[in-house]
């Protein structure tokens, strides 16, 4: 086969490949050219945000750390500072390279260690996949389970006497509705207890007693609270269709239970 025929054959095969599976090749090329790069960490903003080259903001993928003023905010930030401040790191991008605030989205590595994952394992972050589960989801969930087993920081179990009483009876994420049941023979004061998703959405129980062997329903809406139904207000939705987690915490922010889907 002469040289010209070889060139035409290669061009023809490339066209066929692009026609059959353009999205795959596009993804492959992005990962090859942009999948990983290095960056210098100029400053740690908080537990899941850093500033890299030329004051560029980077939001770490797969995690959500406490907000300023919340328990373990300082510890999460200090842990990240110790891991990456003034160091050259490697970045691994997901399917979306930027968030709505134009921050870079990435997993960050130092000496081949996934720093995002370590924050979850050490109880300074919960796992967080708002755009859907990616290839790292399973290992991040396992890191959280390990954290819960080791009773670390955000994973520390509640010692409230009612922590053993409250069961998640129903979790209908499609209708933004959950039901808790008090299985104990005594009433439980849930005042100050908190329901949280993987992100920033919070529901705080305001002066609420869940009586023995009774249910309480919490759902999205603006109606008047009753003895058995409470409303999660000021949100357009709570739980994402692509997967999310419910965390229930006591008034001291200790973990009572959690449930993922």
Return the active site residues: 59, 67, 103
CA 47/CA 24 separation, integer angstroms: 34
Chain center to CA of 4: 54
98: which residues sit within 8 A by CB, 6+ positions away? 104, 105
CA 125/CA 116 separation, integer angstroms: 9
The string of DSSP letters for 155-215 reads GPBP-STTTTTEEEEEEEGGGTEEEEEE-SSS-EE-TT-EEE-SSS-EEE--S-EE-TT-E
- Asked if 73 and 67 count as a contact pair (C-beta separation under 8 A), the reply is yes
- Asked if 111 and 140 count as a contact pair (C-beta separation under 8 A), the reply is no
Check residue 78 and report its DSSP letter.
Answer: H
CA 164/CA 227 separation, integer angstroms: 22
SS3 label, residue 143: helix
Q: How far apart are the first and last CA of the chain?
A: 57
Count of other CB atoms within 10 angstroms of residue 44: 21
């Amino acid at each position: 086969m002469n040289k010209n025929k070889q060139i035409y054959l290669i061009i023809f095969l490339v066209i066929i490949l692009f026609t059959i599976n353009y999205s795959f090749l596009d993804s492959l090329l992005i990962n090859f050219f942009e999948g990983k790069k290095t960056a210098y960490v100029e400053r740690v903003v908080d537990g899941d945000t850093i500033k890299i080259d030329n004051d560029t903001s980077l939001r770490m993928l797969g995690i959500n750390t406490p907000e300023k003023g919340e328990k373990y905010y300082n510890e999460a930030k200090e842990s990240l500072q110790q891991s990456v401040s003034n160091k050259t790191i490697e970045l691994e991008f997901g399917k979306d390279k930027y968030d709505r605030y134009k921050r870079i989205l990435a997993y960050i590595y130092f000496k081949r260690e996934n720093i995002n994952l370590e924050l979850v394992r050490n109880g300074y972050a919960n796992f967080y996949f708002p755009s859907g589960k990616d290839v790292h989801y399973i290992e991040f969930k396992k890191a959280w389970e390990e954290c819960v087993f080791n009773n670390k920081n955000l994973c520390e179990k509640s010692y409230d006497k009612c922590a053993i009483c409250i069961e998640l009876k129903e979790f209908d994420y499609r209708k933004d509705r959950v039901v808790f049941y008090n299985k104990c023979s005594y009433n439980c004061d849930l005042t100050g207890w908190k329901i949280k998703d993987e992100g920033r959405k919070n529901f705080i129980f305001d002066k609420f007693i869940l009586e023995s062997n009774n249910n309480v329903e919490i759902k999205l809406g603006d109606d008047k609270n009753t003895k058995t139904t409470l409303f999660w207000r000021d949100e357009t939705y709570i739980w994402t269709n692509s997967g999310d987690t419910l965390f229930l915490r006591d008034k001291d922010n200790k973990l009572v239970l959690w449930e993922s889907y």
